[in-house]
Amino acid sequence: MNTPILLIDDDTELCESLTRLLAMEQMTVTPAHNLAEGKNRLREKRHDLVVLDVMLPDGDGRVLLREIRERSDVPVIMLTARGDAGDRIAGLEGGADDYIPKPFVPGELLARIRAVLRRRVGGKSDTLLVGDLKIEIPSRRVLRREQEVTLTAAEFDILLFLVRRSGECVTRDELTRQVLGRPMGFADRAIDNHISNLRKKLGSQAGDVERIRSIRHLGYCYTGILHA
């Protein structure tokens, strides 16, 4: 079965090239060249992943990202023309699962798409209990004190990885490689931004202890006790 991908980018040559490349990987690309067209395509059918450019003719792609996150946890990879750190941080804080600065090698985007889709599959068919959280892995749901918390695909996978290693320090490099599916770049703040979002959504404290503790110059540790 082909994987439906929505590609929102005003570069028609890039869209045509990526459509051909992804078709060879059993991925069906629906192109859209502006925000309005992208919104229509989102309403018309379900997609397994969205690739979204920041700079579009009729506005900022991050505006559409926020709208998507209000109603869906579909994975979103942002494309940033300038590769500016501010663009990347804003995209991650807005709920993007990954970002790629332009220009990029098409094979890199393919690798990022594969990594995001692998994370989307999830893990074993079970439920994890850790402190005030209940993590239902098959449905990818997180409940805090029986109230569902909406997480992006990347946030869910980072939380799951940390919880399964609760009490241990997990380095930023390991999280980037194992969860985001790529090497950690110089001055790469992707994991830090996802952790910041998790703290906001789940609460920085779990009882009287810090939920996700920062380990200086190394990484992060989920402090709760895991009960599988």
The CATH classification number of 127-227 equals: 1.10.10.10
Integer Cα distance of 74 and 64 in angstroms:
13
pTM of the model: 0.60
The pLDDT mean for the chain works out to 87
How does residue 82 score in pLDDT terms, banded at 50, 70 and 90? Answer: low
Question: Phi/psi at 97 (nearest 5 deg)?
Answer: -90, -25
Ordered by start, the domain boundaries in the chain are 3-121, 127-227
85 pLDDT tier (thresholds 50, 70, 90) = low
What CATH architecture is 3-121? 3-Layer(aba) Sandwich (3.40)
Give the model's pLDDT for residue 83: 59
